[in-house]
Chains A and B, each alone.
Chain A
Amino acid sequence: DQQVKQNSPSLSVQEGRISILNCDYTNSMFDYFLWYKKYPAEGPTFLISISSIKDKNEDGRFTVFLNKSAKHLSLHIVPSQPGDSAVYFCAASGGSSGDKLTFGTGTRLAVRP
């Protein structure tokens, strides 16, 4: 039972263009959402988060959008840079899981020079 889903295993984008990574969740009790970025042979690192009381959070080139009615969140990277090439995981917490995070399966982003 995958409560957090990333349906696109991979995405390729031209440098300078926008990257949009998507994430869907099924548990309506989730109230906090995060994105992590992972380079090969390293641990995931926190990128950006959003609370369910907001629908948008921005940090530099990264913006996360939350659509609670659709149980959908997305990460926008503008402009995309080759150094953004990594695996991106979305994660959610709340409800009976408390502070424990439930992760999606990840999307591998490749930014072409």
Chain B
Amino acid sequence: DAGITQSPRHKVTETGTPVTLRCHQTENHRYMYWYRQDPGHGLRLIHYSYGVKDTDKGEVSDGYSVSRSKTEDFLLTLESATSSQTSVYFCAITPGGSGANVLTFGAGSRLTVL
């Protein structure tokens, strides 16, 4: 999607290994979010950020950490991946203010934990 890229797009890893997913935006939006999509659960919020070094937990944050050292980058880290973290991960951005509810999503990162 224009202005927001996720990397890697696909990753296969083994249980217990660390994994970092990157979200990069060129829109200079203040707000960034990480969601996971799973069958039967829709999209669930993992962590979000309201600015540089300002992050907070979402509804499914256990086993995940995030960092935002620059406006344009929001990193999602699985310190020790488990099979339950096999999912498709989406990053989203929004400028905030009156447009805060309308998110622009990245194309997703498909993670498989064996």
Given A43-B1, A105-B42, A106-B42: A99 and B101 interface contact (C-beta under 8 Å) = yes
Given A100-B45, A103-B42: A43 and B102 interface contact (C-beta under 8 Å) = no
B44 at the A interface (CB under 8 A): yes
Q: How far apart are B14's CB and chain A's nearest CB, in angstroms?
A: 24
Residues of A within 8 A of B45 (CB): 100-102
Residues of A within 8 A of B40 (CB): 105
Find out whether the CB atom of A103 lies under 8 angstroms from the CB atom of B43.
yes
Residues of B within 8 A of A81 (CB): none
Which residue on A lies nearest to B44, using beta carbons? Answer: A103
B70 at the A interface (CB under 8 A): no
A45 at the B interface (CB under 8 A): yes
Find out whether the CB atom of B102 lies under 8 angstroms from the CB atom of A46.
yes
Find out whether the CB atom of B101 lies under 8 angstroms from the CB atom of A49.
yes
Bound form: Cα–Cα A100–B47 in Å: 11
Q: Give residues of chain B (98-114) contacting chain A, Cβ–Cβ below 8 Å.
A: 100-108
Q: How far apart are A7's CB and chain B's nearest CB, in angstroms?
A: 12
Q: How far apart are B24's CB and chain A's nearest CB, in angstroms?
A: 14
Find out whether the CB atom of B42 lies under 8 angstroms from the CB atom of A43.
no
Residues of B within 8 A of A103 (CB): 35, 42-44
In this complex, the member of B35, B40, B101, B108 whose beta carbon has the largest number of chain A beta carbons within 10 angstroms is: B101
B residues near A (Cβ < 8 Å) are: 1, 31, 33, 35, 40-45, 48, 58, 90, 92, 94, 96, 100-108
Q: Give me 7 other A-B pairs in contact (C-beta within 8 A), A43-B1, A44-B103, A104-B42 excluded.
A: A4-B42, A32-B101, A43-B107, A44-B105, A100-B45, A100-B58, A105-B40
